[in-house]
A and B are shown apart, each in its own frame.
Chain A
Amino acid sequence: MSEPFFSQLKCRECGALYPKKAIHVCEYDFGPLEADYDYGKIRAAISRGKIQSRPLTMWRYRELLPIDGEPTVGLKVGFTPLVKADRLAEALGVSELYVKNDAVNYPTLSFKDRVVAVALSRARELGFKIVACASTGNLANSVAANAAAAGLESYVLIPYDLERSKVLNSLVYGTRVIGIEGAYDQVNRLCSEIAGKHGWGFVNVNLRPYYAEGSKTMGFEIIEQLGWEIPAHTVIPMASGSLLTKINKAYREAVKVGLVSESKFGIYGAQAAGCNPIAAAQKAGTDLIRPVPKPDTIAKSLAIGTPADGYYAVNVMRNTGGAAEDATDSEIIDAIKLLAETEGIFTETAGGVTLACAQKLIVSGKIPRDERIVICITGNGLKTAEALDGHLPPPARIKPSLREFDALIAK
């Protein structure tokens, strides 16, 4: 099948065009390359009805994803629940609130399965036999699982001193896990050299233009699940800032190809106070990102001190009338508990960041209480269980006696 929709890569800085290969920065100005489409053709080819007739996965929007043929990896990823969160809305004092729940994304319980599905499908089209990534958790789990299911060889590079459960969640899939000793920036430099030298498909380096587009599907799903409307306010966690920029892109593309009518929307970014380079820049009114050399937060999945898309994320927030917030460790934990107690959803620390920041944005009046709000929950609480150590009461303990039981619940 020859697909005319995805045409080329384009530099986000100078607009220079590049062929659809495993490249990711512009030769002239080092600007990031982004997938570029023929929107006229897509508009003519898709409709709400056509999308709705397809299986309930992220691939129902495949005309807007950067692969040539049919997807071959991660076929069941996406279409996670959009939960109308009335109990949480009441707790926050807002009228209409939804939770987009990627804590139950398939197969590895985070939104990263979306980006990996696209990256590995494209990796196959480009002829890669070995795929790799460097990660502290969710991305590694997703690459390991999806590569295993696709029969691709994979390498996962991690800082050597990661938590056991995160390492285990990659090892079990038979991927080659390599622990690297050294500080974050040294590991970063090594990985970029490996990516250049070994000709592997590094999902978030040389395959980044393809990888990043997968995040758009979270935005398309939100629109469709709201009955083809763009929510007035969307709150999104930020590490590199990529997900935030791609949800914005999804909302714009949906208008461009005629799936929804145009409406005003605000995009809001959430970070941890212990690693807030993007939020700090937004609050200071600048788009120059000051690196955070030593991130210190329980939200490790968001702890990127030098965010590649930070500049673009700040601009999306500014252009849509949105804003950024950051949350302390204790605010993150309170938010994890609040989401669990009101909606029965157990999120990882990144989700705690998102909810805590949403709360602060509502209290400060930056998000109005009487308009539709969506918060993006991107990962599962079981992966960061240790964050709650000491924050939940131990279970009550009694002898096997009805009298003791009755006495206990009478308290």
Chain B
Amino acid sequence: MAKFKGRYWLNFSGPKATDPLIYLMSKKFDVIFNIRQATISGEMGLMGVEFEAEREELKAAIAWLEEHGVTVEPVEINTIEG
């Protein structure tokens, strides 16, 4: 199965924001991650990351992150405008 590469902004906030979510995700799913940028302020964090995985695996990993309160947006956010 061909690997797919995607670039995402992850936004961490809420009660689980301080859990090691990226580590846990990579244990649970076969996803390579490459962090390019990260900022933390107060109880919120923002991370620019590249994921590489088989497409279905990546979808599942993203769904898992979202279940844990992480907002996952493609770097191409705002593809929809007014």
Residues of A whose CB lies within 8 Å of any CB of B are: 13, 24-25, 28-31, 112, 133-139, 157, 159, 184-185, 187-189, 191-193, 195, 202, 204-205, 239-240, 286, 288, 290-291, 293, 300-304, 306-308, 350
* Besides the known contacts A133-B81, A136-B80, 18 further A-B residue pairs in the complex with CB atoms under 8 A apart: A13-B37, A28-B36, A30-B48, A112-B81, A112-B82, A134-B81, A135-B82, A137-B82, A184-B80, A188-B73, A188-B77, A202-B79, A204-B79, A205-B76, A288-B39, A288-B44, A293-B71, A306-B77
B74 touches A300 (CB 8 A): no
Hey, which chain B residues are within 8 Å of A31, CB to CB? 37
**13 contacting pairs across A/B (C-beta < 8 A):** A30-B7, A30-B37, A31-B37, A134-B80, A135-B81, A136-B81, A136-B82, A139-B82, A188-B74, A202-B79, A293-B71, A304-B82, A308-B78
Q: Name the A residues within 8 Å of B7 (CB-CB).
A: 25, 30
Docked Cα-Cα span, A387 to B56, in Å, equals: 41
A260 → chain B closest CB, angstroms: 30
Q: How far, in whole Å, are A388 and B39 apart by their CA atoms in the complex?
A: 42
Query: Given A195-B76, A290-B13, is A302 in contact with B39 using a C-beta cutoff of 8 Å?
Result: no
In the complex, chain B residues whose CB is within 8 Å of the CB of A139? 81-82
Task: Determine the residue in chain A with the shortest Cβ distance to B40.
Answer: A288
Residue in contact with B79 in the complex, picked from A28, A30, A192, A288, CB distance below 8 Å: A192
The distance from the CB of A199 to the nearest CB of chain B, in whole angstroms, is 15
Among candidates B44, B76, B78, residue contacting A290 with C-beta atoms closer than 8 Å: B44
**A284 shortest CB reach to chain B, Å:** 9
State the interface size on chain B (CB cutoff 8 A).
24
For residue B75, which residues in chain A have a CB less than 8 angstroms away from its CB? 25, 30, 192
Given B9, B42, B71, B79, which contacts A134 in the complex, CB threshold below 8 Å? B79
Residue of A nearest to B80 (CB): A134
B76 touches A29 (CB 8 A): no
How many whole Å from B6's CB to the nearest CB in chain A? 8
Given contacts A188-B73, A286-B41, A291-B71, contact A195 B36 (CB under 8 A): no
Contact between A135 and B80, CB atoms less than 8 A apart: yes
Least Cβ–Cβ distance between A200 and chain B, in angstroms: 12
In the complex, chain B residues whose CB is within 8 Å of the CB of A191: 76, 79-80
Q: Which residues in window 4-28 of B have CB below 8 A to A?
A: 7, 9, 11, 13
**Interface residue B65 (Cβ < 8 Å from any Cβ of A):** no
Q: Which residues of A contact B71 (CB under 8 A)?
A: 185, 291, 293, 306
Instruction: Let me know if B82 and A239 touch, CB within 8 A.
Output: yes
Question: Do A306 and B73 touch across chains, with their CB atoms under 8 A apart?
Answer: yes
| CA A286 to CA B37, docked complex, whole Å | 18
